[in-house]
Structure 1
Amino acid sequence: MRFKHYNQQQTMLLPYSFDDLIPHTHAVRIVDQVVESLNIQPLLKAYSKEGNPGYHPKMLLKVMLYAYMTNIYSSRKIELALRENINFMWLTSMTIVDHNTINRFRSDKLKESFKEIFKQVVLMLASEGLVNLKQIYTDGTKIEAQAGRYTFVWGKSIKTNKAKMLTQLKELWNYAQSIDNEDDPNPEPTEFKEISKEVIEKTVAKIDAKLSGNEKTSSKAKAKLRYIKNNFTSNLEKYEKQEAILGERNSYSKTDTQATFMRMKEDHMLNGQLKPAYNTQISTQNQIIVHYTIHQNPTDTKTLQPHLENLEQTFGKKLFKKIKEITTDAGYGSEENYDYLKQKKLKAFVKYNTFEKEQDQNYQKKHKAFSKENLYYNPEEDYYVCPMGQKMHKTYQNQKTTTTGYTQTLSHYQAKNCEGCSLRGQCFKAQGNRSIERNHNLERHKQQARELLLSEIGIQRRKQRSADVEPVFAQLKHNNGFRRFSLKGLQKVELEFGLMALGHNLRKKIAA
């Protein structure tokens, strides 16, 4: 049998070069060209002039970007690739970097300057005509944190435990009063409104004084007092530390205290469990990520404003003013967001929560006659008209402050006489006369949004949104397998997602 010549010990006069082995159109060459064109002065500020010379930041940045482009996220796997993968060897000129150095560069050196690097690449793509920064499509997804799935702390549990402590303290105080002042018709009053270290110490000292040496004291009461002495102060300190970590959140993970428990669609147990995660927000155009932010709040409604403020801060007011339109789904439709977008002079193709239902003919037939949204309103005289033609005048007006500090103005209207009305059973079920609550500012915003969304351009933007921003998440999470962060902490998580986003943009540049 005949075979082609094969000899591993064959010497070569001129050894192979990496340029011969790597095609000129290969992705690794694009990464090299992009990084070489960047201004890395912000990155150089993270380095000290003293000490031994470090690896060149351009080389490490190229390695990190190409690693995330090829779905290699572990620092140990990146180190292995530097030893075995010719593309990484070409980027580093055969320099071997250990995984600790790679991790320090990713976690520490890049954290202050990466947003500026990301911005430069986006502007480069804009100069090439891939994006124009005139309209953006915004959406969010939840990505699981690198934290223990069952190491949780809940804000409600802390409040419940503190309430139990207060109740136990009050019960023991009442018991001490009862056995010490059986003949006293006016026992010493004590206020138990809120638990604190001072309340515990003061009350325990009084209880101890009443129970010690009293023959009527039961062994159970002595054991309870002993438990309160030994545990209540330390438990309260622990709860206060946990509340400081929680801030305005309702939960966090003990192994990544900045991760919040969120209900996610992708669930490893397939039963909709709450898991520690971060809420990732992106704005895209032509499936290129223009901007990204990471949030601890699971509700998209509360992330839009900080997301756009960060976009303005990153790109500057001049570039931010170029953005004329924003398109989102119904998760962002709130009065506060509509006001903010109007203030920023952005044309908002933003759905509100009942927009899709309103397009359903069955829903319209069911709710058209009696729904408060469809009652006739006279703006000049400020009254509504019920289905029977009765005027519903304003009874009072109140203000409500949301958790974000936004103030809403609510108007209340009520009919004068609904007794004996033939339509009462269909109109409303409550007792008395029918009353409704209306937010006129929100209704104005919803009417404007409705007109925009149902216009020809609005229909086009709604169709484009589902084909622009949502496929980006599918690419990152399903095609690239990025379903869980590798790092812990809000700042490091944001940097890691930024590397993923930049890798995604470079893939789009190569495909263009």
Structure 2
Amino acid sequence: MLIQDYLDICDPVLTFDRFMGEIELEKYLKNIPQHDTGRLRYDPVSMLKTVLFGFMANGYISLRELEDQCKINLRFMYLMDHQAPSYRTFGYFINEVLADSIEEIFQDINKKIFETEHVDLQHLYIDGSKFEANANKYSWVWKKATEKSRYRLFGKITTLFEEINEELSCTGMKLCINSEYAPEYLKEAAEQYAEVWQINEAMFVHGRGHRKTTQQRHYEKLKEYAAKLEEYVEKIKICGEDRNSYSKTDHSATFMRIKTDYMGNDQLLPAYNVQVGVADEYIAVVDVNQYRSDMDCFIPLMNKFYTTYGFYPKYPVADAGYGSYNNYIFCEQQGMEKYMKFPMFKKETTDKKYHEDPFRAVNFPIGEDGIMRCPNGKNFNLQYRKNVKGNKYGRQEEVYQCEDCFGCPYAEQCKKTDKNRTVRINRELTAMHQEVIENLESIQGALLRMNRSIQAEGTFGIMKNDRWYKRIVRRGIKSVLLEVFLVSIGHNLYKYHNKQKKVAAAA
């Protein structure tokens, strides 16, 4: 039986098969391990097509659903030629064969689509969304709390060492007391202590009716503190420098605030920050981050775009979550225009009273002598320059203080304390904000903002609400990235088929 005889000529599986036939898929399947014994291997090209079509048709498809569709669905039977691999076979194929080459497959499929559709990559619409991780909700580990517990433990270790040194004063042995300790040092101290007193753990007593000796109690405390300290060190190491939390059941997931709080208790949930750059409704670049803020995700996403296409987009358009000093300087260095809103953009452009408020520091007039003055005519003198924490480009804020606020008639409107008013100003950032306002308030900027809300936010709307992909299934950053790439490939193929269908209907 020829299955294609039962399929419509415009069926999505036939469009998909013709499209994938123009891409050299065999080059991604050369590293498959070969076995001389056992049953014959399924055709890897058919397996790859089946997996990608499953994500194209469903948005996200599970392994068991793939197995089931190969048994009952004509489209999947057409791709697999009447064969039905088990869900374990599909799982092995995705995790072991596709994992290392999925990004290249994504790039090649995009390249073919972009050439056919003449996609404009100079206009990139950027957005991010937090997807809940496949991790327990109350399994958090907080970095700051762990560090506090570790320093409390240092105090307990110091107290224990003082007691042991007093006990060992007659033996000539002395433990070195420090402000901080390493687990290895505690283990070494326990070994030395056991050697001095000839401690045999088999002779230790436990339970009610038994009294522990001083040596047993001290030795057990040393072992306990060493294990606890090793646990704290491991937790801080897993968190790393850029995160402040992780989940015990998925160490790559970070606790974030998600808009959809279905638990109703306003608590953080383990999640990943998925970033996409959309061009002409296709996902041109995608990345998975562990950062809670979108501002930190912009530069990695742009670098990934450059690695893929060899250039930076001329017009990266993003919402107010991406506008920061670091990102604006990066755009200047790479020749990109500034079309990312800053956090106060809406208030700055829609609230006339706020924009023209004479008591805002940016509206204070500067005289010909270069001195800034308040509405009462008092001078503001430079006090010092302060480095902004976490800035990569050495951004500094200038701190000015009014010479005398005593008796000022505008005191209630201008300041909230009895002291002379202090303001912080960064003129370079203020100039950047003005440039962003001019860009986004222009006719081109208004069109780009409208397109961003349609394309970038619409992409997540389709993924989450139309195709029901609302939560990460896999665990670990590498596996999550594999999953997101598969979903993105499915989305692009789904879009491509719909556009081809509209063209055929119009013709």
Band of TM-score, shorter chain = 0.7 to 0.9
Choose the corresponding residue for 1:271, options 245, 259, 265: 265
2:398 alignment counterpart: 411
Once the two structures are superposed, residues 199-254 of structure 1 have per-residue CA deviations (whole angstroms, 9 ceiling, x without a partner) of 64688899999xxxxxxxx9999997465323110111111122221112111122
Equivalent positions of 1:243-258 (< 5 A) are 243-248=236-241, 249-258=243-252
2:8 alignment counterpart: 23
Is structure 2 residue 17 aligned with structure 1 residue 32? yes
CA 169–66 in structure 1, closer or farther in 2 if over 3 Å, else same: same
Choose the corresponding residue for 2:328, options 338, 359, 374: 338
Asked whether the 8 Å contact 1:264–1:272 carries over to 2, the reply is no
Shift of 1:170: 3.8
What CA distance in whole angstroms lies between the structure 2 residues aligned with 1:465 and 1:169?
Answer: 57
Runs of at least 5 residues in structure 2 that lack an aligned partner in the other structure:
196-210, 500-507
Amino acid at match of 2:180: E
Shift of 1:485: 1.8
Which has the larger displacement, 54-63 or 453-462? 54-63
Shift of 1:336: 0.3
Equivalent positions of 1:426-437 (< 5 A) are 426-437=413-424
What CA distance in whole angstroms lies between the structure 1 residues aligned with 2:319 and 2:213?
Answer: 59
Choose the corresponding residue for 1:286, options 280, 299, 305: 280
What CA distance in whole angstroms lies between the structure 1 residues aligned with 2:194 and 2:375?
Answer: 68
Q: SS at the partner of 1:359?
A: helix
* Identity of matched residues, %: 28
What CA distance in whole angstroms lies between the structure 2 residues aligned with 1:495 and 1:198?
Answer: 38
Once the two structures are superposed, residues 103-150 of structure 1 have per-residue CA deviations (whole angstroms, 9 ceiling, x without a partner) of 122122112222222122222222223522120100000111122222
1:234 alignment counterpart: 227
Q: SS at the partner of 2:262?
A: coil
Choose the corresponding residue for 2:180, options 194, 219, 233: 194
Shift of 1:359: 2.5
What CA distance in whole angstroms lies between the structure 1 residues aligned with 2:407 and 2:480?
Answer: 62
Is structure 2 residue 437 aligned with structure 1 residue 450? yes
Shift of 1:356: 0.7
1:132 alignment counterpart: 120
1:169 alignment counterpart: 157
Once the two structures are superposed, residues 251-280 of structure 1 have per-residue CA deviations (whole angstroms, 9 ceiling, x without a partner) of 112221111111112233233332211110
CA 429–191 in structure 1, closer or farther in 2 if over 3 Å, else same: farther
Shift of 1:383: 3.4
Asked whether the 8 Å contact 1:36–1:58 carries over to 2, the reply is no
Which has the larger displacement, 27-36 or 85-94? 27-36
Choose the corresponding residue for 1:472, options 456, 459, 474: 459
2:144 alignment counterpart: 156
Asked whether the 8 Å contact 1:383–1:392 carries over to 2, the reply is yes
CA 203–439 in structure 1, closer or farther in 2 if over 3 Å, else same: farther
Q: SS at the partner of 1:368?
A: coil
Equivalent positions of 1:101-116 (< 5 A) are 101-116=89-104
TM-score (norm 2): 0.86
Q: SS at the partner of 1:280?
A: strand
What CA distance in whole angstroms lies between the structure 2 residues aligned with 1:393 and 1:103?
Answer: 67
Amino acid at match of 1:438: I
Shift of 1:57: 2.8
What CA distance in whole angstroms lies between the structure 2 residues aligned with 1:191 and 1:384?
Answer: 55
Q: CA RMSD in A?
A: 3.1
Q: Kindly tell me the number of residue pairs found equivalent between the two proteins.
A: 479
Is structure 2 residue 294 aligned with structure 1 residue 300? yes
1:81 alignment counterpart: 69
1:6 alignment counterpart: none
Asked whether the 8 Å contact 1:329–1:351 carries over to 2, the reply is yes
1:13 alignment counterpart: none
CA 144–333 in structure 1, closer or farther in 2 if over 3 Å, else same: same
Is structure 2 residue 347 aligned with structure 1 residue 368? no
